[in-house]
Amino acid sequence: MELRHLRYFRAVAEELHFGRAARRLHIAQPPLSQQIRQLEDELGVALLTRSTRRVELTPAGADYLAHTVAILDAVDAAGHHAQQVAEGRTGRLSIGCVGSATYSVLPAFVRALRDRIPDVEVRIRGEMLAPAQLAALRSGDIDIGLLRMSGEEPDLRVEPIRTDHLILALPDGHPAAATGSVDLHNLRDEDFIAHAGGGRSVMNTVLMTLCSVAGFTPRIRHEVEETSTLATLVAAGLGVALVPEPTAAIGITGVTYRPLSTPTSGIELHAARRIDDAASPMIDRALEVLREIASAPYEPARK
């Protein structure tokens, strides 16, 4: 069976006249009769009752007509939808994001996506550590990763999205929070809260480097998977933490954020994608949107 049979049957069923249907289809009447006969033979069902004076649908024919129309429409719709996907106007997009951007850059990104690409279907996986994102990118679990990284990844395309200042997260009432900015050296005897993964986390590397410059090695008492947990532990007074500025978007009371007295070069947020996904215009368009909105400096939520 071919779509031709369905198109022809639809025409005859709607016209209830082989001659008119043939004219509508721009073919002669005999081949139309033949094709309809073929269709009926293949289905083993009489779809039409014909006499020379009247053509009518059988109950089975009426049923088949409804399905036929639905199928022909679905064929058209499938083509149009595929074109939309090819143009990146619709599709599914899975985004992974590190904790420090989950509550600031990520929501802004998703909001902008919905504005600019209304038919995108976004799936979000926030609070993903960088190594998990790399694995998820390779397995196809996510299409775009928002992470902080240093090394090279040959099968991924990584680009810097924005640079974030580093700030300190202190428990409310901490002596160092009394001043406008904090000298890292004053925290040499504090407990530090760090991310899991040790040296594989860029934030940990930066922390070690900065403390080393300040003349001490930070004592790391707690390691956390999620940045939100980190904020909770700081609020509980279990230690202090060095975090990228957007982390402050986590609305947990009991935490005071203070800049460092010594300016640093900050830490970069990167967007990563599979290098062989070049044929995915949705990812291209999404990254364009990300570049536009992510360069804006982090702005704390107004109350």
The verdict on 121 binding its own copies (CB under 8 A) reads no
AA identity, residue 108: A
In the bound state with its own copies, the residue whose beta carbon lies nearer, of 201 and 280, is 280
> Torsion over CA of 128, 130, 136 and 139, rounded to 10 degrees?
-170
Task: Reduce the DSSP state of residue 280 to 3 states and report it.
Answer: coil
Q: Where are the beta strands (DSSP E) in 5-89?
A: 48-50, 55-57
The verdict on 1 binding DNA (CB under 7 A) reads no
The minimum distance between CB 6 and DNA, in angstroms, equals 12
Binding mask 33-62 for DNA (x = CB under 7 A): xxxxxx-----------xxxxxx-------
DSSP state letter for 297? P
The verdict on 120 binding its own copies (CB under 8 A) reads no
Q: Which of 22, 32, 91, 204 binds its own copies (CB under 8 A)?
A: 91
What, of DNA, its own copies, none, does residue 281 touch, CB below 5 to 8 Å by kind?
its own copies
Q: Where are the beta strands (DSSP E) in the chain?
A: 48-50, 55-57, 90-97, 119-125, 144-147, 156-164, 166-171, 191-195, 219-224, 241-244, 255-259, 267-274
For residues 186 and 211, is the Cβ–Cβ distance under 8 A? no
The verdict on 47 binding its own copies (CB under 8 A) reads yes
Name the residues that contact DNA, by CB under 7 A. Answer: 2, 4, 17-19, 26-31, 33-38, 50-55
Name the residues that contact its own copies, by CB under 8 A. Answer: 1-4, 6, 42-47, 49, 58-61, 63-64, 67-68, 70-71, 74-75, 77-79, 81-83, 85-86, 91, 279-282
